[in-house]
Amino acid sequence: MKDKPEQRVKEIIGILRRTYPRSRTALRFDNPLQLLVATILSAQCTDEQVNKITPSLFVKYPYAAAFAEAVPGVLEEEIKSTGFFRNKTKSIIGAARKIVSDFGGSVPDNMTDLITLPGVARKTANIVLSSAYGKAEGIAVDTHVKRLSGRLGLSGEKNPDKIEKDLLSLVPKEDWLDFNYLLVNHGRAVCQAKKPNCPECGLNKLCPSAAVFFPGEQS
């Protein structure tokens, strides 16, 4: 770990790409609107649970205008199983109304406009841009990225926006699209919150936290 941070990040990304060659969002969607809604629903909820309810939801509300006209009490019941359903309903309907009124019914394809939508901060915007539009304007910082960025010594910040700023200075731009998903996959499979599996981790020689969680294993 004496190498320059940028070189260490490149090594980390190389290992993760070989380990998780098909890293992408687990949320199921057919268009940017569906991904936007699914991402809002995924806050404090598993992607699995979101994927259970979105098929029927997207049939009933196929366009932004349909979500914009949704009855709040009805939509709340339809998404209740994802938790925080009142706030999520408010965000979905509010975002849909602004998409209809300000963007002609199409989800914006740039960060500046996306973050003007109710309930949409940089994390959600980055996921929509990277997965729906193939655009790299930043790196989505969710709970996995926040946890692994700290453990890997890539950022000492706690605020997601500040963590993202640190990552953008270290991660090559060509890797911005996939970096979130690489860390998410690794966070779920190996570097879990309560008990990281350092002995089986391909990054343990590059990770300053491995010596803390599993002393004596680093050379």
Catalytic residue numbers, as ranges: 123, 142
CA–CA dist 84, 76 (Å, integer) = 9
Q: 184: helix, coil or strand? A: helix
Counting Cα atoms < 13 Å in the Cβ hemisphere of 153 gives: 19
What is the gyration radius of the CA atoms in the chain, in angstroms? 19
- The amino acid at residue 127 is I
Handedness of CA 148, 152, 157, 163 (dihedral sign): negative
Retrieve residue 140's tokens: 């989505």
- The amino acid at residue 33 is L
Helix, strand, coil percent values for the chain (each to nearest 5): 60, 0, 40
